[in-house]
Amino acid sequence: MQQHLDHLAQQARADRVAVTPDLDAALAALDEAIEAIAPELEVEAYGPGVGVEGEQDVYRLVIRNHEWNAGDYRWGLKVCDALPNAGWRVAWPIQGVARLRKGEVVRGLPAMLGEWRRAVAKAGLAESDAGRRVSELAAALGAPADA
């Protein structure tokens, strides 16, 4: 997992994100890790916009209990429709976005994990095992220390 986190952190800081099979594997590994941690915490977090071509705030990174199909809810990090009437509807898994948006997703990961770390702390869960794993993920991805 550490190799994937290192790759994502490096790409998040890059001028141009290299969309490769390694990046897709790293995003899938992060998605799986968050899906394992999030149900233990049940803490929502709303990250940065990941829209493209002037529509930055139309889609956002979101950790919450997402509805995939009618009645099928699962905690995790997804790209969601952020329009007021959309109800945070899931648009894509983080590894499933198109090439252009993938760069925005990767660059938004440090802020997203920092925001989740803040929300977990606010919920009083920072010292739980899952809370510590969130903090470790955030630090590995380069989230600001005050986040």
Q: What is the pLDDT of residues 49-106, one digit of tens each?
A: 998 877 777 999 999 999 877 788 999 999 999 988 888 899 999 999 998 899 999 9
The Cα-based distances of 23 to 43, 76, 106 in angstroms read: 27, 19, 9
The answer to whether position 146 is within a domain reads no
* Surface-to-core class of residue 100, CB atoms within 10 Å of its CB (0-12 exposed, 13-18 middle, 19+ buried): exposed
The answer to whether position 62 is within a domain reads yes
The answer to whether position 77 is within a domain reads yes
**Residues written for the chain:** 147
Can you give the residue range of the structural domain that contains 40?
Answer: 2-140
Number of domains in the chain: 1
- Helix, coil or strand: residue 19: coil
The answer to whether position 25 is within a domain reads yes
Please tell me the pTM assigned to this model: 0.92
Confidence of residue 147 (pLDDT cuts 50, 70, 90): very low
